[in-house]
Amino acid sequence: MPYSPEPLVRGSHLKEDLRALEALGTGPAARIRASLKPDSLRAIEEATRIDYLPLAYNIEMADAVYAQASGAGSRLWARTSLLSSLGGLFQPLFEAATALFHPAPPLFYKYIPRGWLLSYRGCGEFSVEEPSPGRTILIGNGLAPAMFCDSYLTAVCGTFEAVFSLTEFAGAANCVSRDKDRLSATWEAEWRPLTDGSR
């Protein structure tokens, strides 16, 4: 997929990212907010949820989180942001449905391509493969060049790991390959059923 010169991210995504900083603790959250450019912070706070803003704001925040909270913090931040986006009016219905049907991770992963296109513009597209039980491959093609940094790629791992908070499975997601020249990156998610109620 040809790369668009104007990568954009939806305002709702950035607003959830800002809110999710609190999951890192009061001190780190305050330091991260303080490290953001005033113009970036103001643009995110003043945008509507349906506005699209420059991808640079997303990368700036990912860099700040990674610098203050390391890879583990980046994963937690991104996971919290995605889960927060599922809240609101329909959260009780969503929780009831997942409790009733006990969905496995692939049910959620198949919506990643659609969700990506709702959140981003000019940032490529995703495909999903299920090579074996307990394993999903998520492939991003035509990604924006700015996304090829450790801070962002690690945060995406956390986004994909949010699935395990919605299911009765434990697992991990990792970026297993990246090719900036081809604007392609691949993540692998692996999981197992919970047997003792712990993750």
Residue written as tokens 């970036």?
40
pLDDT recorded at residue 198: 56
Residues of the domain holding 186: 8-193
Domain-located, residue 3: no
Residue by residue, pLDDT tens for the chain (199 residues) are 444 568 999 999 999 999 999 999 999 999 999 999 999 999 999 999 999 999 999 999 999 999 999 999 999 999 999 998 887 544 565 566 566 667 889 989 999 999 999 999 999 999 999 999 999 999 999 999 999 999 999 999 999 999 998 888 999 999 999 999 999 999 999 999 987 555 5
CA distance 138 to 188: 6
pLDDT recorded at residue 99: 65
Domain-located, residue 76: yes
CATH number of the domain within which 57 lies: 3.90.1520.10
pLDDT recorded at residue 167: 87
pLDDT recorded at residue 166: 84
CA distance 120 to 97: 27
Contacts of 99 (CB under 8 A, 6+ apart): none
CA distance 109 to 162: 10
Domain-located, residue 199: no
pLDDT recorded at residue 199: 55
pLDDT recorded at residue 11: 97
- Residue pair 124/3 in contact (Cβ under 8 Å)? The answer is yes
**Two tokens at 36?**
């953001």
**3-class SS of residue 33:** helix
User: How many domains does the chain contain in total?
Assistant: 1
Angle of the 38-46 helix axis to the 55-85 helix axis, nearest 10:
50
Domain-located, residue 139: yes
Residue type, 76: L
Domain-located, residue 40: yes
DSSP conformation class of 88: S
Domain-located, residue 106: yes
Contacts of 16 (CB under 8 A, 6+ apart): 81, 82, 84, 85
DSSP conformation class of 160: H
CA distance 107 to 30: 36
- Residue pair 159/185 in contact (Cβ under 8 Å)? The answer is no
Residue type, 124: G
